[in-house]
Each structure stands twice: as C-alpha cells, then as structure tokens.
Structure 1
Amino acid sequence: MKDEKWKVTQSIGEDMIQANPVIPVRLLDKVKMKFKLKKFNGQVTTQSLYDRDVTTSSISHIFLGGISKAGYTKDQPVGMHTLTPGSDLEQIEPDKEPEFKSDKLRAVRPLTPQDDNYAPPGKNGVYKAKIWLRETKHNSWKQKESTMFPTDWSQEKVIDVISRSYDVARKVGSSNGTEKWEGRDPITGSMIVLKCLPNTGEIITAYPKYEKAAEV
C-alpha cells in the first residue's frame, strides 16, 4: 500500500512537469521553421513544444537536456545549455554533486577552479557548467559538461540569438550524419555553434562558443 501511494505521488509530480511547454507557446512561430521539432499530423504545432524528448526536440535538447534515445549518443547525457527553472532542476553548491536519493532529474553548477576544464566567465557572460541528467529518480546520474548561455538571457533572447546566428553561419565540419556550423550573432557578438541535419538544415542543437572576455 505504501509503495502504491508513493507511485501515485511520483506520477502526479511527473505529470505536472509534462503539463508545461518547454518554452512559452507564444514563441512557436520563432522556432517552427529552423528548429527540429516533433510533428503532429505532419505539422509543427503547439503540441510540439510539450515534447521533452531530446532526440526529437531541439528545444528540449537546448533548454532541458536529457538522456539520448537514438544515434551515436544513445544512452548518453546530452544538451542543456541554459538554466531552465523547473521542479525537476537542482542547482548544486560549488564543488558538490547531486545525491542519488534526490527527487530531481536535472542538476547543474558552474565549473570552479577545482574542476579540470575550468575557465572564468567569458564574453557576454557565457560560462561552463557541470551537468547531471537522468531519466527517472531511480536511475543513476550521468554527468557531462556544457557551455552555457548567459544566466540573464531569457528563453526568447536565446532563441533570437540562435536564429540570427543561423542566418549568417558557415559550415565548419560534419560527423555522425550531422553538420556543424558556426555563426556570430550580429547584435550580441556571441559566436554560436549549431549542429544541423544535412537534408533539411533543421537545428538539432545550438550552444554558445566559449570566448575569453575582453580584459578591462
């Protein structure tokens, strides 16, 4: 009986998370042409913004991160390049790690001088972070590092910067069936790395390229 009650509570919590779109519905028109999104009846719709699978939604890949379900990254932690608040996110104290017994599915902290790949905040506030992801609270954490968009950038600003960078990007390589492009946003000056599908040009993921901040 106790286990059944716990399962019901868990289900309610997960349903509440799933009930919210990854980004506000009002931003649909800004992402439906360039970003890879799950289609319903052959169309990108409002429903596409509720898809939290990083394999089928570039928006989930960028804003939430998760465990890949296909391709060369299958079963690996991928994505999460900006802080998207939610009941499934835990912000970790410096030099700490999330506990297995945590009820969260995402955890993050900026790199510190104690980390091997540490670098101070770069141009425009781009920074490096340690990310932990898992599918359910019963799974072990899987760790990665991410280059993160500035903490004071809204979801809309992140999308706008990616979109503008896409328009001026040049191809710099290809691997594992995807193309890598880089473009410098003409407004913020940030260099954005984009991975795209070669046949459609759709964005699979995008993140800021770390560049040292100008010395004062």
Structure 2
Amino acid sequence: MEEQSQYFTVHIPQKGPMAGIANWKHYYFLGITRGELDSINLNFQQVSGLLNMIGVNSFIATGLAVDPIYAINRTQETIATPWLNMYAVLAHYQSDIINVAYQEKKPLFLPEEWSRGLFSKNSGWPESLTKKHDYQLNGYQMFILPFLVPDHTELVDLTQSMKAPDGSMEVFWFSYFDTTNPERLLSDLVSLKSFILEQRQELIIQ
C-alpha cells in the first residue's frame, strides 16, 4: 500500500440510511488472549452482562473479537470500521429497530452468522502509525470488542478486569473510539502493554 499520511479521520455519513449513526457513540473493550481471536464468540448473555457492568443497557454489539490491526480497513478511497459495518447491516436489513433501541434503551445483538463477514481482514492503518505504536505482547494477542451506545448514555468505569472462567481471555477496560483521531486506539493498546509489563507481571511470558 502506498504510504499515507498518519493524520486521518473516519468519515461519518450525514445522509441516507447511515445518517443515524451520528446518534451513536463508538466504544470498545480492550483485552488479551492466548488463543486464536476467531475462537472468541461471546453470546448475548455474556456481552449484555459485560456492558451492564459499565451502565449500558441499550447497545449495538456482537460477540466477536477484532484484531486491532483491522479496526481500520480501507476499500479504495473509503475507510471502514467495525462500528460502521455493524450499524450498516442493521440499517440495511432492520432499520426500524435501530430507532426503537435508541429511544427505548433496548439491546441489539448481532449473532455470529451476521457478524463474521463484517470485519474485513485488510488493514487500513497508515504504516507510519503501526510502526510508531508497538503493542505486541509476547504470548498474547490483543483484541477489541466493539460496541455502539446511544449518545445520551452515561457509562461507568470497570472497577476491575474481567476474566473468562477458563482463563482464556481477559478484558481490562473500555475506551471511546474517536473517529476524528483513530490513532488513540493504537495508543490505548500501547498503554495496555505498559500496564501489563509494569503492574501485571504474572502475565508476562518470557
């Protein structure tokens, strides 16, 4: 790919069926796993429970983990994200329920059969940014669990990290995905790496 400027934004549609996404904020949980990302497939109860812990009842989400390198993907001149793609599939097939979820605080969960094709494995990050932010952690893969919430939602912080019962994955915190400054996501990954190296040394694999 031809080198691109590291300063870029994600365009949010203002017209057409995607215009309503302006009323939803983009967030993600940040975690690590020793397994394959494709094996992470949380069900509705698990996703809902995780989101309820941060005060979220109305949301658009899926139970699939996303490799951060694919959080930005590019098709020709268009930049896409998991958040845009999740909203797009609902806007195309069941647009009426989006307003219901927004106004009546209801959850919208995309099952695996709807979600697998949404997260393209074509990185759209400028190479200058991926070189700048080294978040690789020996023995682990970092991942994000993207979700959208209505813009009137008040979120509360996680008081502790959340581990899967079998210890296969751990979620540490959630963050806002800033479409005007996507690089913050990469910085967040580096912060998690530093946190683990400095404060969770029992996780370090030599």
TM bucket normalised to smaller: under 0.3
The higher-RCO structure (CA 8 Å, 6+ apart) is 2
Of structures 1 and 2, the larger Rg is shown by 1
**TM-score, with length taken from structure 1:** 0.27
Which has the larger share of helix?
Answer: 2
Normalising by structure 2, report the TM-score: 0.28
